[in-house]
Amino acid sequence: MKGIVFTEFLDLVEEKFGIEMVDKIISQSTLESEGIYTSIGTYSFSEMLQLLKHLSENTNISIDNLLLVYAEHFFSVIENSYPGLLATYKDPIEMISSIEDHIHIEVRKIYPDAELPTFIVEEKTEDSLVLIYKSSRAMHHFGLGLMNKTFAHFNSTANIVLEKIKEDGTVVKFLINKN
Ligand code: HEM
């Protein structure tokens, strides 16, 4: 997992819960990085899982909800870091249905070792989309948060329903309807 995902995560934890919480979840985890991340580095996904698990235990907020809020923050990082990529799109459905064949392809050019999910478009109309998410990392709520903010970016909203195809969250169906 790319370092920017860790640095932005710990920044948000500090902003919401204070530096003591950052120190606490780092010391509760067994981290090869010792909790020292640079935005261009690459670190084990298990480090993110441990940080999330301990933050969840300390705050009583579910990992899914932590990932949702984190993704909403991460979207503003994307807006600031990759404005050109977003400017290619005029519509949220077009953008979300292009993650697999365009957006994440560009991401991989920037970060060849990025660990990205697979999105399969099952159905698409002007204002609806059915997408299958597949990833061993089961970060579907990170996807949900990014989708919410994609609609907000285009001054729009949507009703997004998530159906787990696999119990462990590694395969999930998203039913997206623009309001
Ligand atoms: C992961 C970039 C849009 C869904 C990532 C990562 C980056 C990235 C850097 C981390 C990879 C790693 O740590 O190895 C971007 C950029 C975008 C964009 C620059 C827009 C310009 C989206 C959108 C979605 C999405 C709109 C919404 C569905 C995900 C998910 C992951 C991810 C779910 C987590 C990895 C996983 O589930 O396996 N993306 N992304 N991305 N992205 Fe995107």
Q: Relative to the CA of 110, which ligand 1 atom is closest?
A: 9
Q: What is the mean pLDDT of residues 149-173?
A: 98
Q: Relative to the CA of 140, which ligand 1 atom is closest?
A: 33
Residue with CA closest to ligand 1 atom 40: 104
* HSE, side-chain direction, 13 A CA sphere, residue 63: 12
User: Degrees (nearest 5) of the Cα angle 69, 100, 50?
Assistant: 40
| 56-92 tens-digit pLDDT | 999 999 999 999 999 999 999 999 999 999 999 999 9
Structure tokens at 70: 């984190």
Ligand 1 centroid to Cα of residue 116, in Å, is: 6
At residue 173, the pLDDT reads 98
Q: Where are the alpha helices (DSSP H) in the chain?
A: 3-17, 19-28, 45-59, 63-81, 83-87, 92-96, 104-110, 140-153
Predicted complex ipTM: 0.93
| 2-35 tens-digit pLDDT | 999 999 999 999 999 999 999 999 999 999 999 9
Ligand 1 pocket: which of 46, 78, 134 to mutate (most atoms within 8 A of CB) = 78
| 85-142 tens-digit pLDDT | 999 999 999 999 999 999 999 999 999 999 999 999 999 999 999 999 999 999 999 9
Does residue 40 register a pLDDT over 90? no
